[in-house]
Amino acid sequence: MDAILVVFLFVVAWIGVDYLFSVQSGWRVLAAKFRAGAKPVGPRVRWQVVRFGPIPEAGVTNMIPTAQGLYLYAGVLYRSFRPPLLIPWPLIALAREVRELWWRRYEIAIAGATRIRMSRHAYRRLEPFLATTDRLTSRLSGPA
């Protein structure tokens, strides 16, 4: 009986924290405007997002850059409150290069609602799409 209670409390806590993080990260705000349908065809960029808004993460958010925009989706364990998103490229701006210890990270502003910090590998996968919207040196936008 105690084991069942522990498992139940763990699941409730997991769902509660997932909801809280989806709100704090800005995902819920984006979902209200940019909810996506089927997963598009394209190169998947996995395990490369290190921060979504103020929330540090590892392996939660995955990306697929497409001609239509940046498709974002959460890993299986985090999908309860994070539906897939498709953000049009004109609403994505390069914010800045960030140094974290010895790593170079790249932080982009998303629709004035939040920011995504990613590895250099991920940024290089997005860079051709950002270049087509002429924003490689754009101004800061969105919350800090």
> Mean pLDDT throughout 31-52?
94
Residue 141 in any domain: the answer is no
pLDDT at 37 over 70: yes
Q: In this predicted structure, what is the pLDDT of residue 133? A: 52
Q: Is the dihedral of CA 73, 76, 77, 83 positive or negative?
A: positive
Query: How is 81-98 classified by DSSP, letter by letter?
Result: S---EEE-GGGEEEEEEE
Alpha-carbon distances, residue 36 vs 70, 72, 119 (angstroms): 10, 9, 24
pLDDT at 138 over 70: no
Confidence of residue 118 (pLDDT cuts 50, 70, 90): very high
Alpha-carbon distances, residue 132 vs 18, 32, 46, 100 (angstroms): 34, 26, 23, 28
Contact between residue 85 and residue 73 where contact means Cβ atoms under 8 Å apart: yes
Q: What is the CATH number of the domain that holds 6?
A: 2.30.29.30
Residue 140 in any domain: the answer is no
More confident residue, 140 or 43: 43
131 Cβ partners below 8 Å, 6+ apart?
none
Domain count, the chain: 1
Provide the residue range defining the domain that includes 42. 2-132
Q: Is 59 in a helix, a strand, or coil?
A: coil
What length is written for the chain? 144
Residue 28 in any domain: the answer is yes
Q: What is the dihedral angle through the alpha carbons of 126, 122, 28, 81, rounded to the nearest 10 degrees?
A: 130
Contact between residue 49 and residue 61 where contact means Cβ atoms under 8 Å apart: yes
Q: In this predicted structure, what is the pLDDT of residue 100? A: 86
Residue 142 in any domain: the answer is no
More confident residue, 1 or 137: 1
pLDDT in tens, 56-96: 998 899 999 999 999 999 999 898 899 999 999 999 987 68
> Mean pLDDT throughout 40-62?
93
Confidence of residue 24 (pLDDT cuts 50, 70, 90): very high
pLDDT at 21 over 50: yes
Residue 139 in any domain: the answer is no
Q: Is the dihedral of CA 92, 97, 101, 102 positive or negative?
A: positive
pLDDT at 140 over 60: no
